[in-house]
Amino acid sequence: MDSYFSISDANKILPIVIKKFNYAKKMKSEVMKIEQELSSNITMTASLEQYGSIKRKLNSVVTKFYQSLEDLENTGVVLKGLDEGLLDFPAKRFDEEIWLCWKEGETEIKFWHEKDSGFEGRKPISVMISAWLRVIRIRFLLASVIAVFLGIAITWWQIGTITIFDAALTMFGVLALHASVDLLNDYWDFKRRIDTTTKRTKMSGGSGVLPEGLLKPTQVYVAGIIFLLIGASIGAYFVITDGIIIGVILAFAVISIYFYSTKIVDWGLSEVFVLIKGTMIVMGTYFVQTSDFTESVVLGGIIMGILSSLVLFITSFPDHDADKAKGRKTLVISLGRQKAAKMLLVFPLYLLISLRII
């Protein structure tokens, strides 16, 4: 396939496609009408001249009909059934070829199906979009949004100005890296059959997208790598503009994100990773704006990291049995549920220390 349609591209060209489809259908109707007329003239006492005239007329309409089909498919669509009113737009979901599906009477592209399935296998596009939003875990991205905004807020408080472009690019890069770790985590948890044995809640147990078969594992893995490369590319830009310190932060982020679900969690360092990640996001955001670190931004980063780590610590309680069975070593598994529950008091203590209340 030479070209693929995005959903927006397909909807943009759809009015033209519908017009060409209707014309092709009209031409087919004309062909059938004239064929019936020709058949009637054979059995009646029509002259050969009349018969020849109708035959030439039929040839002309048949030519127009086949030309209309060619014009229709020259738009890039594939006609699956003129009588059934079915057209497919070739498309891609990362590395997988799919069809965006249209049926006569529909005013926009609302459905898709896999390459080897037909009309019966089509699914709403809204389900596909919601599946991607689920697997990226939108609600958890809020932690990174807050961390970036904290770094920006401290910058504004201390120097009274921020560079909007750098702030926006930082936010986009951090969200790309966060999405990457969530996607790769879902992929590896599914491959290790962790998400198929744990009870899913709103805050734990994975997104459930892969066990439910809404997406394919390879799609999620490729998406995770793409987001990782996007985040790394943005980070590389800041390494060029702001120096080696951003390079150190970026190297930590890329390496730890890729190995988070296969090594870091198994080593019992997931909470430590999240703590450092939250701290570095705040400090990195501030450094991009000021090329400096201050005591306030370090403390702010630590507080953000502790809060993020606390969320992970709490959400690992429901996953205890499944994680333990597959060789993971979260803090809850290392301590045991009862001791881990008592450890909940330690996180506020760290916060108090960071805030210099104690």
Report the pLDDT value the prediction gives residue 358, as an integer from 0 to 100: 40
pLDDT at 274 over 80: yes
- Over the stretch 220-268, which tens digit does the pLDDT of each residue have? 999 999 999 999 999 999 999 999 999 999 999 999 998 888 888 778 7
Q: For the residues 335-356, what does the mean pLDDT come to? A: 67
Report the pLDDT value the prediction gives residue 248, as an integer from 0 to 100: 93
Q: What are phi and psi of 103, to 5 degrees?
A: -120, 145
The residue to which tokens 């870091």 are assigned: 264
* Distance (Å, whole) CA 75 – CA 175: 37
* Distance (Å, whole) CA 115 – CA 121: 10
Asked if residue 220 lies in contact with residue 214, where contact means CB atoms within 8 angstroms, the answer is no
pLDDT at 216 over 90: no
How open is the CA angle 241-246-252, to the nearest 5 degrees? 150
Report the pLDDT value the prediction gives residue 140, as an integer from 0 to 100: 84
Tell me the range of 37-41, 51-55, 89-93, 144-148 where mean pLDDT is highest. Answer: 144-148
Split at pLDDT 50, 70, 90, the class of 310 is: confident
Report the pLDDT value the prediction gives residue 347, as an integer from 0 to 100: 62
Split at pLDDT 50, 70, 90, the class of 41 is: low
Query: What number of other Cβ atoms are within 10 A of residue 255's Cβ?
Result: 12
Query: What number of other Cβ atoms are within 10 A of residue 300's Cβ?
Result: 22
The mean of the pLDDT values for the chain is 85
Q: What are phi and psi of 80, to 5 degrees?
A: -100, -20
pLDDT at 284 over 90: yes
* Distance (Å, whole) CA 109 – CA 8: 9
Residues 6+ apart with CB under 8 A from 87: 17, 21, 77, 78, 79, 80, 101, 102
- Over the stretch 119-145, which tens digit does the pLDDT of each residue have? 888 888 877 778 888 888 888 899 899
pLDDT at 97 over 70: yes
Report the pLDDT value the prediction gives residue 357, as an integer from 0 to 100: 44
- Return the higher-pLDDT residue of 334 and 226: 226
pLDDT at 345 over 80: no
* Distance (Å, whole) CA 37 – CA 51: 9
Split at pLDDT 50, 70, 90, the class of 155 is: very high
3-state SS string for the chain: CCCCCCHHHHHHHHHHHHHHHHHHHHHHHHHHHHHHHHHHHHHCCCCHHHHHHHHHHHHHHHHHHHHHHHHHHCCCCEEEECCCCEEEEEEEECCEEEEEEEECCCCCCCEEEECCCCHHHCEEHHHHHHHHHHHHCHHHHHHHHHHHHHHHHHHHHHHCCCCHHHHHHHHHHHHHHHHHHHHHHHHHHHHCCCCCCCCCCCCCCCCCCCCCCCCCHHHHHHHHHHHHHHHHHHHHHHHHHHCHHHHHHHHHHHHHHHHHHHHHCCCCCHHHHHHHHHHHHHHHHHHHHHCCCCHHHHHHHHHHHHHHHHHHHHHCCCCHHHHHHCCCCCHHHHHCHHHHHHHCCHHHHHHHHHCCCC
Distances (CA, A) of 16 to 12, 21, 214, 255: 9, 9, 32, 48
Give percent above pLDDT 90 in the chain: 44
pTM above 0.85, yes or no: no
- Return the higher-pLDDT residue of 234 and 94: 234
**Amino acid (one-letter) located at 188:** W
Split at pLDDT 50, 70, 90, the class of 115 is: confident
- Bridge partners of 124, per DSSP, are 111
* Distance (Å, whole) CA 68 – CA 16: 13
Split at pLDDT 50, 70, 90, the class of 178 is: very high
Q: For the residues 54-60, what does the mean pLDDT come to? A: 86
pLDDT at 66 over 70: yes
* Distance (Å, whole) CA 270 – CA 337: 17
- Return the higher-pLDDT residue of 118 and 65: 65
Split at pLDDT 50, 70, 90, the class of 87 is: very high
